[in-house]
Structure 1
């Protein structure tokens, strides 16, 4: 078994002001700002550790101030997922005929930029918007852009691992061998998670609460990645613990470096 642990204080922590210096990208009034805590090291998302499999970004972000967020900007050959936990996210994207979507707590989306797409993400209400962003490489390049969204009912789906993204029933499709699940559970419960194959790994992130994952205690915003094992065991140590699990195929790092050199401006 291989593993790595990222404690909350070891993540990259950034405060990005909406002061005009980056107005082509950062939106909002000069009093607005984005706080970002990132688990991996990718361009402006800095945490000192490279990605995990096709995962390039796992960003824990808060938009502070009405109108704060990201202005319209392009991507290609990237898949971006957002999971909203509080506030309201207005997401404008060019997939298909283009659309404007408003997401609240429990809502989430998968935007595959594929051959080329643009999007803008804004918090237009006074309430802070908190979301976790997951960026990953697609399994196939230059696919047609696509957008899907759904809702996780956190009041009804307690004490079970619920798959949100991937190839399961009632999940959002994604062009990669990857699955995202969420677990909100009460103290004293145990949850085994069986990986598809030994070629898959899993990234476990504790958004709230405290757990024991394969003998390692993880608290608020702590995380770990595990590979070369068949099953992960999660013991819940605090009530209302909220855990995200990202199971992914593991990719040869040489292949990833070639991809990154070809897409350095994305």
Structure 2
């Protein structure tokens, strides 16, 4: 097993006033040649958007974009005709494919919105753009991992144009679990949204991450109530 540890304090921090962003990988004005990507995982941005502010209509192509709200309400609108709000407990995915335009705004006039936006390189280029959004109950993630994004309809997961799996779990202290890589050769990027855990002996706190590869599985121990995201991703 090989590991790459990314501590929260080492992320690229950008403060635009209305947007406070922490970049796990090189993005915008932040560049670190050691943090350009992990396998086909290209972007993991931890964004806090001020009330009423957001990202105006802009375009993407040939990228799989997953959005996970952590706090507040995010308003979404795109060129596929999809429009609505996204809240914690929901996950959104867009296959930008041959080209999609969208906007994202904080739907509240009083409270911040905090979200993770994640980009994955696609398996097939120039597919027809598509959008999906789904809510997952607390029971589905309680003391276990729930697969929310996958290349098939596994357990009701949303489809992604890549051999990748996104799994989310909410764990009580003292829990132990393991994760088995679903596609041989894939790696896994474990991101601690909240709490403290260890991954095969590597201690991680809030917003820390570890990339694991050349492994078939790994163990996770929960030392403090935790919310954990695992992104299993092809390494090449």
TM-score range, shorter chain: over 0.9
> Do 1:110 and 1:172's aligned partners in 2 also have CA atoms closer than 8 Å?
yes
> Do 1:182 and 1:245's aligned partners in 2 also have CA atoms closer than 8 Å?
yes
The aligned residue for residue 29 of structure 1 is none
**Larger-gyration structure (1/2):** 1
> Do 1:45 and 1:57's aligned partners in 2 also have CA atoms closer than 8 Å?
no
Q: By how many angstroms is 1:47 displaced?
A: 5.1
CA–CA distance in structure 2, aligned partners of residues 194 and 119 of structure 1? 35
* Mapped pair 1:70 → 2:64: no
Query: Which of 130, 139, 153 is equivalent to 1:146?
Result: 130
Query: Which of 185, 208, 222 is equivalent to 1:236?
Result: 222
Change (3 A) 1:45 1:94: farther
Query: Which of 73, 77, 88 is equivalent to 1:105?
Result: 88
The aligned residue for residue 10 of structure 1 is 10
Q: By how many angstroms is 1:197 displaced?
A: 4.0
Structure 1: segments with no counterpart, 5+ residues = 18-32, 252-266
Q: By how many angstroms is 1:127 displaced?
A: 1.3
TM-score by length of 1: 0.84
Q: By how many angstroms is 1:105 displaced?
A: 1.4
Alignment of 1:127-142 (within 5 A): 127-142=111-126
Deviations 1:191-233 (A, max 9, x none): 1100124411000011110001011000111101010011110
- SS, match of residue 82 in structure 1: strand
- SS, match of residue 210 in structure 1: strand
* Mapped pair 1:171 → 2:154: no
TM-score by length of 2: 0.94
Alignment of 1:1-266 (within 5 A): 1-17=1-17, 33-44=18-29, 46=31, 48=33, 49-65=35-51, 67-95=52-80, 98-125=81-108, 126-154=110-138, 157-166=141-150, 167=152, 168-239=154-225, 241-251=226-236
Deviations 1:81-140 (A, max 9, x none): 100111100011112xx1212111111110111001100000031211111010111100
Q: In angstroms, what is the RMSD of aligned CA positions? A: 1.3
Structure 2: segments with no counterpart, 5+ residues = none
CA–CA distance in structure 1, aligned partners of residues 38 and 27 of structure 2? 11
- SS, match of residue 9 in structure 2: helix
CA–CA distance in structure 2, aligned partners of residues 236 and 46 of structure 1? 32
